[in-house]
Amino acid sequence: MLEFDGLGFSHDPGQDPGRWLFRDVSHKLAPGEVLTVLGPNGRGKTTLLRCVAGLTTPTEGRVRADGAVGFVPQSHHTTFAYTALDMVLMGRVRHLRALATPGRRDHELAYGALGRVGIGHLADRDYPTLSGGERQLVLIARAIAAQGPVLVLDEPASALDLRNQGRVLDLLRGLADEGLAIVLTTHHPDHAMEIADTAMLMFGGTDVRIGPADELLTDSAVGALYGVRAHTLVLNEDPGGAPRRVIVTRYDQELPS
């Protein structure tokens, strides 16, 4: 379980209320729930995630989690020649006694996590030599190997090709079905509609809307959020399944400001 109550962040809280990136944001995330956070650049999505993960202290409000929170940043660089396996093994540190080294079980979990994200063949590659998308998959594998009950990811599919985007979305939905609580940011409404139970739209300041993803993610709401014209399409891809709703945008048709 993850709960944040009255969460707010401002670089200068004593000044104009408009300086608040976000304020009075509350939600209780149940095990197995996926919450996707959407909003334009500069609205505080990454700051919100860092507050939720315990990496940044909120200006107001509090966060409670049942166990460790795994955090996957949008990008990560290191000049040290750690292998991909070494990077994933770092996720096991909190399970080790002081001065202990990873054992057989830790290595099994690390290899398993690399395999689960589809890059087991990269275990012995030096992390700095990997592509941006491959490094992102390593970081997701590290968070999986940590075996925490909550996973927080900042735009986990942003550096991935279309195939790996689908792989990561399926993976995250599968982890949620196993009981993990997951929070992620994305700029892709279709990603949110594919895997999310709950959506958060960060319009700015005190205007942060949270609700069921299938109700909150409409073409009018997404269009207003990003200032573009958005349209809902219903796809009937599988004759035996339910229709799938997607939102597409016209990038050459901005809404009047």
Structural domain spans, the chain: 1-67+149-213, 80-145, 218-257
pLDDT score at 55 = 93
pLDDT at 257 over 80: no
- Give the mean pLDDT of the chain: 88
pLDDT at 79 over 70: no
Residue 89 sits at φ, ψ, to 5 deg, of: -60, -25
Q: Which of 50, 184, 168 is nearest to 119 (CA)?
A: 168
Q: Which of 244, 242, 211, 245 is nearest to 230 (CA)?
A: 245
Q: Which of 98, 37, 94 is nearest to 69 (CA)?
A: 94
* H-helix or E-strand spanning residue 41: none
Q: Indicate the CATH number for domain 1-67+149-213.
A: 3.40.50.300
What token pair was written down for 173?
């939905």
Residue 19 sits at φ, ψ, to 5 deg, of: -80, -10
DSSP-assigned states of every residue in 51-119: HHTTSS--SEEEEEESS-EEEE-S----SS--BHHHHHHGGGGGGSPTT----HHHHHHHHHHHHHTT-
**Alpha-carbon distances, residue 205 vs 22, 25, 195, 208, 244 (angstroms):** 4, 10, 26, 7, 32
Query: Mind listing the pLDDT tens digit for each residue in 14-37?
Result: 666 558 899 999 999 999 999 999
Q: How far apart are the first and last CA of the chain?
A: 39
pLDDT at 191 over 60: yes
Q: What is the CA radius of gyration of the chain?
A: 19
Rounded to whole angstroms, how far apart are CA atoms 29 and 87?
Answer: 28
Q: Which of 222, 231, 173 is nearest to 202 (CA)?
A: 222
pLDDT score at 198 = 97
